[in-house]
Amino acid sequence: MTIKQWTSRVIIGIIILFGAVIICGYLLRDSAEVEVVEEETIADASKFSAEMERDQIYGIYLDSLDIEQGVVKRRQNITKILSNLGLQYSEAISAANAINEVYDIRFIKAGNRYMSFFSADSLKRLKHFVYIVSASEYVRCDIDGRNAKAELCKQDIIIKERLKEVEIQSSLWNAVKDANMPYEIALQLSEIYAWTVDFFGIEKGDKFRILYTEEFVDDTTSIGVRDIKGAIFESKGVSSYAFLFDNDSTQSYFDLQGNSLRKAFLKAPLRYSRISSRFSGSRMHPILKKRRAHYGVDYAAPSGTPVQSIGDGTVIEKGFDKKGGGNYVKVRHNSVYTSVYMHLRGFAKGLKRGARINQGELIGYVGKTGLATGPHLDFRVYMNGKPIDPLKMEAPSVEPVSNDNFDRYIQYSDSLKTILERL
């Protein structure tokens, strides 16, 4: 063998050996990568399996099930619903009877939702049926041919305490909405302060602080406000305090001195309107085009808006005022005060002269009967037979904290006051 031939073979051998090393390296690397991938796949499978174990709704595991939602229609009974979902009549009767054992099927309401769980195969058999009674209660029926079992279930309600301060830019309603608070807050605040805050005179910059409890199911879904425990409403530089307190087995709201926030009269006879004309001794009448006294407050509101009595009393007049007042109602509250409601579109059903009426009770609806350019309520108050400005009327508090509960109330209200003023 010549030196040249030997050199060529050595070079070839080195090339082959180097190639083998590279190939082995790739093989080893690929082998390692395969092992890692397999380990990750196993881990993901375990995680997926664990998630599937938790993947349930209304106590029903969703593996191999198809879900459909529906709404109860008018005049639709449970048997008809189940038949429409594919059950034979005898099976639907069996399931309806099982449900009726735990929940009276006569109370199933149009508009309520239900969920149907079907087998995810070509047969598509109804396996489970859930009727949603409310946000926290439902009926689950497990179906197996003519064998059906039902259970009335309740979801755990979680109560969360909320503490917030909100500044008003336009209206109470918009302030609550912009703060992402439940809409009931606006309604409850308007009721709590109905006797002390003029909600028609709210200005930009007014604000309120509030401590309330909210109910949740599954820790995230709010089902409403349980109660407002305490609040401070600041309007026109005046702070009005309200604390919910059990006074001799009756819950009500009281101020710092233990006086009830419930006054003898409501601040206004209707909600969500605007004042279009105020009390005046000389006002240009929009139709008669001459100056005359206007001994009331005009609240502009859509036709049909409910009008309520500002206080307990007796209906002493009901009829049509030919002098321009149109349909009207007059209520005598006591020997001192009388209120009048004019331009009504119509009266509350059953309302008649001599009838006793409670504070906040419906008496009629906003209209434009008589001399009126548009729908509004002309509201008037008389004190000892003389007209007074309803917006300036001061009504005494009723039902203060009793003497036996006063010390306990002061201690309780002070603790809430401290919490609210901490904001």
Give the pLDDT confidence of 289-303 residue by residue, as tens digits.
Answer: 555 567 788 998 899
Res. 93: pLDDT tops 90: yes
How far, in Å, CA of 84 to CA of 71, rounded? 13
How far, in Å, CA of 368 to CA of 155, rounded? 50
Pairing of strands 65-71, 113-119: antiparallel
pTM strictly above 0.85: no
Q: What is the 3-state secondary structure (H, E, C) of the chain?
A: CCHHHHHHHHHHHHHHHHHHHHHHHHHHHHHHHHHHHHHHHHHHHHHHHHHHHHCEECCEECCCEEEEEEECCCCCCHHHHHHHCCCCHHHHHHHHHHHHHHCCHHHCCCCCEEEEEEECCCCCCEEEEEEEEECCEEEEEEEECCEEEEEEEECCEEEEEEEEEEECCCCHHHHHHHCCCCCHHHHHHHHHCCCCCCHHHCCCCCEEEEEEEEEEECCCEEEEEEEEEEEEEEECCEEEEEEEEEECCEEEEECCCCCECCECCCCCCCCCCEEEECCEEEEECCCCCCEEEECCEEEECCCCCEEECCCCEEEEEEEEECCCCEEEEEEECCCCEEEEEEEEEEECCCCCCCCEECCCCEEEEEECCCCCCCCEEEEEEEECCEEECHHHCCCCECCCCCHHHHHHHHHHHHHHHHHHHCC
Q: What is the pLDDT of residue 46?
A: 37
11-52 pLDDT, tens digit each: 555 544 445 444 444 433 333 332 222 333 333 333 333 333
Confidence tier at 372 by pLDDT (50, 70, 90): confident
Q: Cα dihedral sign for 293, 299, 380, 355?
A: positive
Phi/psi of residue 143, nearest 5 degrees: -115, 135
When the pLDDT of each residue in the chain is averaged and rounded to a whole number, the result is 83
Q: Are 60 and 115 in contact (CB under 8 A)?
A: no
Q: What is the pLDDT of residue 54?
A: 46
142-199 pLDDT, tens digit each: 998 888 999 999 888 889 999 999 999 988 889 999 999 988 899 899 889 888 887 8
| Mean pLDDT calculated for residue range 253-257 | 95
Q: What is the pLDDT of residue 136?
A: 81
